[in-house]
């Protein structure tokens, strides 16, 4: 549960709370601020607004100087805030969240007015309406589509009836002779008109909400599927960037750490196997590798047959990931008498989306990538070969085994490479 020392902390959290979620989720469901406004004016503040207008008409503008107004406003803001904050993760909040404002308002105003607070019918009505709306919303969150639609319709009628109730209450003050009984009240044609108008308004709004919610849910489900497919191609971090700005993945030069991993002797092994056996090994290999890599939050990773390419921001993270991959993936492949070799290089690459106008894909290009691939091809089963650039970045954080020179195609001079054994404890 969030704790706040003062009102400043409350609204500071209000501003930053969405940073915990992803850009995609914010686009799908709206920002915290957007959901706060929708909740405030679409649910929490309906009765308070009607009550404020009623009090101004009865008391005049002196009501603006009374503490009741500000207690009601603050209570509504608090309810809307916590309702949005908790309702996504706790369905019970649909009921209890609707009771926050009336409870705060009752406790605060009761401390000022005493039992006289309950002599005002609008105060009792506020508690009753909040209870009924909260109950409907709670059961709506648990129900199937048909029952949920019915409850949505009933909720809209109930909310619109707040208008009629406050109008009838106002009439008891302005036209007491016409409101001495239920029959005398509805003998007035204008009262009948308002009653039927409010009823049909509730039905109309309810049907509109049902249709809008159905379309919105379909859109969200479709967007979630597209998000999943996009993450397969781009990875989560890159997807967040491109959602925030379509220019974020324009081709650019940037320092990255490139890791390649490949199964040694995979081709000769797979030539002797049935396709199902090859697919089974690759599934096992992919799942185990992905579980490890995701812990280190890479920029991007992808598989191509038995090869894995991973792009990191940080050399130490890349090397830690390599050590864990080498240990665990080699254990996975031991029963097949296979193992992996890993190569890592660091430096500036060209990174971004490349392709045609209709088909684009994310990639990293450049000499740094080519050298990382060469290091991986030189690595024996169980070896992690890193370049001098990576060694300079990681310092003495890892135990280093053999240091050797290798000749790489396209390089005039041999490269110094280091065999990483483990992270120092």
Whole-number Å distance between alpha carbons of 209 and 203: 10
Residue 14's pLDDT is what?
43
Whole-number Å distance between alpha carbons of 229 and 244: 18
pLDDT, tens only, 130-183: 999 999 999 998 888 889 999 999 999 999 999 999 999 999 888 887 777 888
Residues 6+ apart with CB under 8 A from 163: 50, 198, 201
User: Given a cut of 60, is residue 415 above it in pLDDT?
Assistant: yes
Q: What percent of the chain has pLDDT over 70?
A: 88
Residue 34's pLDDT is what?
87
pLDDT tier at 274, thresholds 50, 70, 90: very high
Residue 156's pLDDT is what?
95
Whole-number Å distance between alpha carbons of 204 and 82: 29
Residue 244's pLDDT is what?
67
User: Given a cut of 70, is residue 222 above it in pLDDT?
Assistant: yes
Whole-number Å distance between alpha carbons of 396 and 400: 9
User: Given a cut of 60, is residue 5 above it in pLDDT?
Assistant: no
* Ordered alpha helix ranges (H), 89-188: 93-96, 100-113, 121-142, 145-174, 182-186
Residue 226's pLDDT is what?
72
Here the tokens at position 14 are: 């209000």
- Nearest by Cα to 322 from 366, 258, 371, 264: 258
Across 181-190, b (16+ Cβ under 10 Å) vs e yields eeeebeeeee
Average pLDDT of the chain is: 86
Whole-Å CA distances, 289 to 250, 302, 327, 367: 28, 11, 11, 25
Sign of the dihedral defined by the CA atoms of residues 153, 154, 158, 161, in that order: positive
Beta bridge partners of 340: 263
* Ordered alpha helix ranges (H), 175-188: 182-186
Max Cα-Cα span within the chain:
105
Whole-Å CA distances, 233 to 295, 305, 314, 400: 19, 15, 22, 35
Check: CB of residue 311 under 8 Å from CB of residue 257.
yes
Q: What is the mean pLDDT of residues 250-258?
A: 88
Return the higher-pLDDT residue of 239 and 107.
107
Whole-number Å distance between alpha carbons of 112 and 66: 11
Here the tokens at position 138 are: 């709670």
116: exposed, middle or buried (Cβ count in 10 Å: 0-12, 13-18, 19+): exposed
Strands (E), 356-414: 360-365, 384-387, 398-406
User: Given a cut of 90, is residue 70 above it in pLDDT?
Assistant: yes
Q: What is the mean pLDDT of residues 298-313?
A: 90
> Which helix (H) or strand (E) element contains residue 118?
none
User: Given a cut of 70, is residue 310 above it in pLDDT?
Assistant: yes
Residue 17's pLDDT is what?
42
Helix orientation angle between 7-16 and 32-39, rounded to the nearest 10 degrees: 120
pLDDT, tens only, 79-114: 999 998 887 778 888 999 999 999 999 999 999 888
Return the higher-pLDDT residue of 157 and 231.
157
Task: Name the phi and psi angles at 355, rounded to 5.
Answer: 140, -165
Check: CB of residue 78 under 8 Å from CB of residue 100.
yes
pTM confidence score: 0.61
Here the tokens at position 374 are: 């060469």
Q: What percent of the chain has pLDDT over 90?
A: 54
Residue 31's pLDDT is what?
79
pLDDT tier at 18, thresholds 50, 70, 90: very low
User: Given a cut of 60, is residue 1 above it in pLDDT?
Assistant: no
Q: What is the mean pLDDT of residues 22-37?
A: 73
Poorest-pLDDT segment among 63-72, 241-250, 315-324, 405-414: 241-250
Q: What is the DSSP letter of 368?
A: H
Return the higher-pLDDT residue of 118 and 27.
118
* CATH architecture of the domain formed by 249-423: 2-Layer Sandwich (3.30)
User: Given a cut of 80, is residue 255 above it in pLDDT?
Assistant: yes
Poorest-pLDDT segment among 2-16, 141-155, 266-280: 2-16
List the domain boundaries for the chain: 7-233, 249-423
Poorest-pLDDT segment among 41-50, 74-83, 89-98, 325-334: 89-98
Whole-number Å distance between alpha carbons of 380 and 155: 68
Q: What is the mean pLDDT of residues 66-73?
A: 93
pLDDT tier at 413, thresholds 50, 70, 90: confident
User: Given a cut of 90, is residue 324 above it in pLDDT?
Assistant: yes
Whole-number Å distance between alpha carbons of 214 and 48: 29
Residue 184's pLDDT is what?
86
């Amino acid at each position: 549960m969030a704790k706040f020392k003062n009102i400043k902390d409350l609204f500071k959290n209000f501003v930053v709370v969405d940073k915990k979620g992803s850009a995609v989720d914010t686009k799908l469901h709206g920002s915290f601020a957007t959901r706060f406004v929708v909740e405030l004016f679409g649910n929490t503040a309906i009765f308070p607004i009607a009550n404020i207008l009623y009090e101004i008409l009865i008391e005049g503008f002196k009501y603006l100087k009374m503490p009741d107004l500000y207690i009601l406003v603050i209570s509504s803001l608090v309810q809307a805030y916590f309702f949005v904050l908790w309702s996504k993760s706790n369905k019970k909040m649909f009921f209890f969240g609707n009771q926050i404002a009336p409870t705060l308002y009752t406790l605060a105003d009761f401390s000022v007015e005493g039992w006289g607070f309950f002599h005002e019918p609008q105060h009792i009505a506020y508690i009753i309406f909040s209870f009924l709306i909260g109950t409907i919303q709670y059961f709506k969150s648990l129900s199937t589509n048909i029952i949920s639609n019915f409850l949505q319709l009933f909720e809209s009628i109930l909310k619109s009836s707040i208008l009629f109730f406050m109008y009838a209450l106002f009439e008891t003050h302005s036209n007491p002779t016409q409101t001495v009984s239920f029959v005398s009240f509805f003998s007035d044609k204008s009262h009948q008109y308002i009653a039927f108008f409010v009823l049909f308004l509730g039905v109309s709004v309810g049907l509109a909400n049902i249709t809008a919610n159905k379309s919105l849910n379909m859109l969200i489900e479709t967007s979630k599927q597209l998000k999943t497919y996009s993450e397969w191609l781009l990875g989560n971090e890159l997807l967040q960037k491109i959602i925030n700005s379509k220019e974020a993945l324009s081709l650019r030069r940037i320092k990255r750490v490139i890791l390649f991993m490949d199964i040694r002797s995979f081709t000769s092994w797979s030539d002797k196997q049935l396709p199902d056996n090859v697919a089974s090994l690759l599934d096992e290999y992919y799942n185990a590798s992905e579980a490890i890599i995701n812990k280190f939050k890479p920029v991007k990773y992808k598989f191509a047959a038995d090869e894995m390419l991973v792009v990191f921001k940080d050399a130490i993270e890349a090397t830690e990931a390599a050590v864990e991959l080498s240990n665990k993936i080699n254990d996975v492949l031991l029963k097949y008498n296979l193992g992996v070799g890993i190569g890592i290089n660091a430096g500036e690459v060209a990174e971004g989306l490349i392709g045609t106008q209709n088909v684009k894909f994310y990639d990293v290009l450049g000499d740094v990538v080519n050298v990382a691939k060469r290091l991986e091809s030189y690595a024996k089963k169980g070896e992690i070969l890193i370049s001098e650039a990576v060694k300079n970045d990681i310092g003495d954080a890892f135990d280093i085994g053999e240091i050797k020179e290798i000749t790489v195609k396209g390089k005039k001079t041999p490269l110094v490479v280091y065999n990483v054994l483990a992270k120092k404890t």
